[in-house]
Amino acid sequence: MSTEILLQQCLIGLANGALIALVALGYTMVYGIVRLINFAHGDLVMLGACLALSLVEFSGLTAAGPVTTWIGIAGLVLACGLFCGSLNVLVDRVVYRPLRGAPKLAPLVSAIGVSFIFMNVGLFWIGPADRSFPPLVPATNLLAGDRLQFTARDLLVVAIVVPLMVALTVLVRATPLGRAMRAVAQDPVAATLMGVDVERVIAATFFLGGFLGGAASVVHGLTITTIGFQMGFLNGLYAFTAAVLGGIGSVPGAVVGGLVIGLVRALSSLLVGERWTGAVVFGILIVILVFRPEGLLGRRTVDKV
Amino acid sequence: MSERDAERPVRGRRSGPFWPRTRTWLRRHWDLAALALLAMAPAVVPALGGALGGQVTIVFISCILALGLNVMVGSTGLVHLGIAAFFGIGAFCHAILTVPTEPFRWSFLPAAALSVLITAGVGLALGAPTLRLRGDYLAIVTLGFGEVVKVSLRNLEQITGGMKGLNPVPPPAAGLRLGGVDLGMQFAVDPRWFYALALGVLAVVVVALRRLERSRLGRAWMAVREDELAAAATGISASRVKLSAFALSSALAGLAGCLYAACLSTTADPNAYDFNRSVMVLCAVILGGLGSIPGTLLGVALLVGFDTVLAPWADAAIQQSGINPGGSMLLSFSGWRLALFGFVLVLVMRLKPAGLMPSRRMAAELREARA
Amino acid sequence: MQRRRFTMSALALTAAAAGCRPSDPGVIRLVSSLPRTGSAKQQSDTIVRGIRLAIAEAEGRVGAFRIEYLDLDDATAAAGQWTSEAEAANARRALQDPDVVAYLGTFNSGAAKVSMPILNLGDLLMVSPANTAVGLTKPGLGDRGEPEIYRPTGRRNFVRVVPADDLQGQLSAEWAWRRGIRRVVILDDNEVYGKGIADLFEERCRELGLTVLAHDAIDAKAQEFRSLMARVRSLGPELVYFGGTTQTKGGQLAKDMAGAGVEAILMVPDGCLEQVFIEAAGPANLEGRCFVTFGGLPPEKLTGKGMAFVEHYRARYGEMPEAYAVYGYEAAGVALRAVRDAGVKDRRTITDAALAIRDYDGALGRWGFDANGDTTLRTLTVSTVRDGRFVFEEVLEPDASPATS
């Protein structure tokens, strides 16, 4: 086996991993703040993709020139981000917020319920069959020669994902909102006592997670170019796994987890066979968690006596 | 649950001999009463001899599966997202031991017994290394395990038949003759036999779990759920207690799997044992009320009953009524099925966050937490 | 009062659910069991339309009986595809209803394995418009014990109007050989149908001396196959064979194949022969490089009764029939013919009448059933994709096969 194919798989793995990471951020941020595994997040991304498809079809972006196309894509990211963010906040307000003091598993079941409702909306929106997303960005190779492929679509993933992650890191590290988020994640009661409006912080977190999910839905549509009402499930499963692998609640952890899962999938397709990829990814997850129960970058929690 | 409910039995005991006492008993053991009623149903409802019988049997089997999960999630407080994997291992073990195309060709009972032992063993093997994981990390490991099992079942064709599954799993009592009647054939022809078998097993499981709940082990489970450190301080070995829950939970899931394979006469394809089923069963347990046996039964009856009994019936009813001549998705029941399902989950959790029928202990805790 | 009314209506509902409808001697009922929710809905839609057309052309009557039709779903929304539970329930439902004399289905071969043994107990005729797995009828070609294990009574009750996979897999390999192709990569979706046909294709390839560079299976729930296609590209095949359907990601596979720069041609079986496949893959990715095999002639090549079928279908539904519509039409036709031949409302007599059909003059031409209940039609056609549409390419005859090397 040549190193070329190995390198090629790594490139593909990293591009896919970046997409997984973008979705994983939505899981990890919400979990960090309210300790809820938001099962509906994958389906939220699916609804974002439905909106993106409708917008592209409606605006006739397919026929536009290159400059307009790139502006259009930026607009799509913004529109879908806003849509998913607002929807996420709305769901939190209506469904999860009344359950803040309830038994721990009640919001989990509600989230599963919301995911079913989202799927039904998607079913009526784009129909039962998979839909092709117009290929706004061609899959042309940017590298010289045809031995290695790094396409314009891979570049697009980088161009959308990296700035978003930088912005998010700055936001969490260096703004008052970020400080409030970290405070609530550590101890909501203490944060309240310090004058932090916890509900506002939670809403902001849901919005940010949803926004990133909306951006991910556009990236998904443009690079994988197929969407369907059931796509949320697997997207969510891998992203959720990435979040836990990296250490759930940790923002850099979600990114690392996403990239690791992308790489493992690509390499196991090459080395073990495509049919075993699912087992390899989850097998590695189990092994890592057995030896490092807090995830790759997670902090060890101490039991309170 | 309000305080009025707690008072009622007392008033009943004071006022009369028979009915009030029966009422007290019913209030406490209504799940057993319901099972008794269901046992009489085939004599009254002829439809149980047809498709309905098969569908209701699936609901019973799901009840056993959910009770197994309840041991983990409800009694011991360990979140488990891969129960379907054990269901699948049970089904496939049973099939390998019984189908005519494999060399073993055991009869139902020994095959089921060994399959249950194997699934319990697999449960222990998964439980032992993951004991120190807590909460959501354990949930994700069990989820991952479920996916690994599904992919393996699909790819190990020489053993599991891959997507074809193993087929045909003989019914219990195959080849057994009683007074000139081929009992195996009876099982294949009339769903009421399986109905009775599944209901009988379910009743045994319910009674056994009720006794277990009050036993030393049952209390130890609850102690670990409430506070692992405090439990350890009183001399309970938390890891042994958790492992026993793992094993029992897996064993019950395996038992349900055996019945499932025998009832469908095939293991079905490995997709029948995927994450969807795990989530469905978990929802049923939580919806009914964590740790409560009657609650679990009610939750399964609602959720699984919705999917396997109500939805097909409603679809056919709408079709035959001629409301929807064009076959539009918007006018069909199945078009709205997911959303209905979702709304039920969201609404029940909103109105009764502890579940429809929480165990007394859980309800008390919730009141305390609110106070 | 309110409460009592509720109880009454609940009772009425239970009675209806219990199927307490009295049997009507003047009515025969056909049921179909196809995946009506989820991803295979489009294909099952066309089959159901074919069935409805056949019944409408008979003016709702056959002999002395009035025909009723019930379209059952063997998929669930939660699963998004057929499930064993739903299929078993459909079969039991049909068996229990004394008016049902024929069961038209299934779409997925795996589902047939569930319902065949159940229906066999009641000698209920099962006519499949789409099951192609060889083991369902042909002794010795499928798994050990097939097909006897599906006949607990030892009697037969299953016929199919569609040619089985042994023909399709084999002729596809021969077609590739004749085209001068020597290096192939085989992929399948790990389903009963897709894997079955891919295995048969591989077997014939090896017999003919073609090099099989790899045979891997995909996860039909995966989103994309770029890693896989990068590997395929490094192997340098001349042809990629995909045993699978549109629902198991045939379109995505074609898309990623083009995206990864694999320059081989793509060959797929009839599970992909539907317009949605072209839409899912993107027409440009298939243009001139994708070949689809199909048992029977494409709608536009049908003659005689077949042409009449296409015209009536277009008149009624406003579009060209998809490939499987004609099989739905033919399956219903066979069931009605069997009822007419039998003349009585008795399941065994009707089933025997169907098994005895040797000369059927239908939309697919003149054909009959052989001793196994398989169609005698042996015509296979290859179509390619041009300008976003399937275009007929050539007819494959089993007799013209090259010598085994």
With an 8 Å Cβ cutoff, is A264 touching chain C?
no
If we measure between CA atoms, which residue out of A220, C95, C73 comes closest to residue B190?
C95
Instruction: Determine whether the interchain pair C77/B191 forms a contact, defined as Cβ–Cβ distance below 8 Å.
Output: no
Tell me the average pLDDT across C271-299.
Answer: 88
Which tens digit of pLDDT belongs to each residue from B208-230? 999 998 899 999 998 888 888 88
Q: What's C140's domain CATH number?
A: 3.40.50.2300
- Whether the pLDDT of residue B325 is over 80: the answer is no
User: What pLDDT score was predicted for residue B139?
Assistant: 87
Q: What is the mean pLDDT of chain B?
A: 85
Closest residue of chain B to A234, computed from CA coordinates = B275
Label residue B16 by pLDDT band (50, 70, 90): low
- Whether the pLDDT of residue C402 is over 80: the answer is no
Residues C384, C288 within the same domain: yes
Residues C26, C153 within the same domain: yes
Residues C22, C155 within the same domain: yes
Residues C25, C67 within the same domain: yes
Least confidently predicted of A3-17, A77-91, B144-158, C3-17:
C3-17
Query: Cα separation of C315 and C318, whole Å?
Result: 6
C330 in a structural domain: yes
Query: Cα separation of B124 and B128, whole Å?
Result: 6
Range of the structural domain that residue C281 is part of? 165-294+380-400
Tell me the average pLDDT across B336-363.
Answer: 87
Instruction: Determine whether the interchain pair C143/B162 forms a contact, defined as Cβ–Cβ distance below 8 Å.
Output: no
Residues C12, C42 within the same domain: yes
Tell me the average pLDDT across C301-326.
Answer: 89
If we measure between CA atoms, which residue out of A64, A90, A61 comes closest to residue A210?
A90
The tokens describing B250, both together, are 């897996």
Query: How many contacts (CB atoms, under 8 Å) link B and C?
Result: 129
Least confidently predicted of A117-126, A153-162, B332-341, C154-163:
B332-341
Residue type, A52: A
Least confidently predicted of A17-26, C14-23, C148-157, C224-233:
C14-23
User: What pLDDT score was predicted for residue A301?
Assistant: 54
- Whether the pLDDT of residue B122 is over 90: the answer is yes
Q: Which residues of C248-267 are buried (b: 16+ CB within 10 A; e: fewer)?
A: bbbbbbbbbbbbbebebbbb
Instruction: Determine whether the interchain pair B148/A286 forms a contact, defined as Cβ–Cβ distance below 8 Å.
Output: yes
- Whether the pLDDT of residue B356 is over 60: the answer is yes
Tell me the average pLDDT across C339-362.
Answer: 93
User: What pLDDT score was predicted for residue C158?
Assistant: 95
- Whether the pLDDT of residue A300 is over 50: the answer is yes
Answer yes or no: are the C-beta atoms of B357 and B298 closer than 8 Å: yes
Tell me the average pLDDT across B13-21.
Answer: 66
Query: Cα separation of A216 and A85, whole Å?
Result: 12
With an 8 Å Cβ cutoff, is B229 touching chain A?
yes
Which tens digit of pLDDT belongs to each residue from A56-104? 999 888 887 888 888 999 999 999 999 999 999 999 999 999 998 888 8
Which tens digit of pLDDT belongs to each residue from C189-223? 988 888 889 999 999 999 999 999 999 999 888 88
- Whether the pLDDT of residue A302 is over 60: the answer is no
Residues C64, C89 within the same domain: yes
With an 8 Å Cβ cutoff, is C114 touching chain B?
yes
User: What pLDDT score was predicted for residue B370?
Assistant: 59
Residues C59, C175 within the same domain: no
pTM score, two decimals?
A: 0.88
Which tens digit of pLDDT belongs to each residue from A226-244? 998 889 988 888 999 999 8
Query: Cα separation of A275 and A269, whole Å?
Result: 8
Percent of chain B with pLDDT over 90: 41
Answer yes or no: are the C-beta atoms of C336 and C54 closer than 8 Å: yes
**Higher local confidence (pLDDT), A41 or B21:** A41
Least confidently predicted of A62-71, B183-192, B286-295, C153-162:
B183-192
User: What pLDDT score was predicted for residue B78?
Assistant: 87
Domain count, chain C: 2
C405 in a structural domain: no
Label residue A54 by pLDDT band (50, 70, 90): very high
Tell me the average pLDDT across A163-189.
Answer: 91
Label residue C255 by pLDDT band (50, 70, 90): very high
- Residue B258's Cβ-side half-sphere holds a number of Cα atoms within 13 Å equal to 27
C3 in a structural domain: no
**Higher local confidence (pLDDT), B35 or C354:** C354
**A102, A248, A293: residue with CB nearest B353:** A102
User: What pLDDT score was predicted for residue C9?
Assistant: 42
If we measure between CA atoms, which residue out of C276, C310, C270, C224 comes closest to residue C49?
C310
Tokens 């006949």 correspond to C151
Tell me the average pLDDT across C327-348.
Answer: 94
C112 in a structural domain: yes
Which tens digit of pLDDT belongs to each residue from C299-310? 778 888 899 999
Label residue B11 by pLDDT band (50, 70, 90): very low
Label residue B327 by pLDDT band (50, 70, 90): low
Query: Cα separation of C305 and B307, whole Å?
Result: 42
Query: Cα separation of A171 and A165, whole Å?
Result: 10
- Whether the pLDDT of residue C364 is over 70: the answer is yes
Those chains having 3 or more beta-carbon pairs within 8 angstroms of chain C are A, B
- Whether the pLDDT of residue B2 is over 60: the answer is no
**C80, C219, C258: residue with CB nearest A277:** C219
What residues in C contact A265, CB-CB < 8 Å? 227
Query: Cα separation of B65 and B210, whole Å?
Result: 16
User: What pLDDT score was predicted for residue C77?
Assistant: 64
C47 in a structural domain: yes
Label residue B22 by pLDDT band (50, 70, 90): confident
Cis link prior to C211 (omega < 30° from 0)?
A: no
Residues C159, C307 within the same domain: yes
C279 to chain A, closest Cα gap in Å: 7
Tokens 């299953």 correspond to C158
**Higher local confidence (pLDDT), A258 or B183:** A258
The tokens describing B254, both together, are 């395996």
Closest residue of chain B to A292, computed from CA coordinates = B133
β-partners of residue C216 are C187
Residues C282, C390 within the same domain: yes
Considering A83-97, B2-16, B213-227, C270-284, the range whose residues carry the highest mean pLDDT is A83-97
C290 in a structural domain: yes
Element (H, E) at C394: strand C389-396
Task: Give me the residues of C, 59-88, that contact B with CB < 8 A.
Answer: 70-73, 76-79, 81, 83-86, 88
Query: Cα separation of C50 and C37, whole Å?
Result: 18
A128 to chain B, closest Cα gap in Å: 10
Q: What is the DSSP letter of B271?
A: G
Query: Cα separation of A263 and A285, whole Å?
Result: 13
Answer yes or no: are the C-beta atoms of A38 and A27 closer than 8 Å: yes
C374 in a structural domain: no
Residues C192, C339 within the same domain: no
What residues in C contact B328, CB-CB < 8 Å? none
Spatial neighbors of C213 by CB under 8 A, at least 6 apart, are C183, C184, C185, C235, C236, C237
Answer yes or no: are the C-beta atoms of A164 and A23 closer than 8 Å: no
Instruction: Determine whether the interchain pair B47/C20 forms a contact, defined as Cβ–Cβ distance below 8 Å.
Output: yes
Residues C216, C322 within the same domain: no
User: What pLDDT score was predicted for residue B148?
Assistant: 95
Chain C residues with a Cβ under 8 Å from any Cβ in chain A: 37-39, 41-42, 80, 190, 216-219, 221-228, 230-231, 234, 246, 249, 251-252, 255, 258-261, 276, 279-282
Q: What is the mean pLDDT of chain C?
A: 86
User: What pLDDT score was predicted for residue B102?
Assistant: 84
Q: Could you give the residue ranges of the DSSP H alpha helices within A3-93?
A: 3-34, 41-59, 66-91
Measured CA distances, A219 to A13, A161, B24, B101, C231 (Å): 15, 9, 61, 49, 24
**Higher local confidence (pLDDT), B334 or C95:** C95
Considering B242-256, B333-347, C363-377, the range whose residues carry the highest mean pLDDT is B242-256
Residues C69, C37 within the same domain: yes
Query: Cα separation of A206 and A203, whole Å?
Result: 5
ipTM of the complex: 0.91
- Whether the pLDDT of residue B329 is over 60: the answer is yes
Measured CA distances, C298 to A24, C45, C143, C271 (Å): 47, 18, 31, 14
**A9, A128, A226: residue with CB nearest C230:** A9
User: What pLDDT score was predicted for residue A30?
Assistant: 92
Instruction: Determine whether the interchain pair A113/B346 forms a contact, defined as Cβ–Cβ distance below 8 Å.
Output: yes
Percent of chain C with pLDDT over 70: 92
Measured CA distances, B272 to B82, B123, B150, B264, C87 (Å): 13, 19, 9, 12, 13
Answer yes or no: are the C-beta atoms of C362 and C333 closer than 8 Å: yes
Label residue B371 by pLDDT band (50, 70, 90): low
User: What pLDDT score was predicted for residue A149?
Assistant: 86
- Whether the pLDDT of residue C128 is over 90: the answer is yes
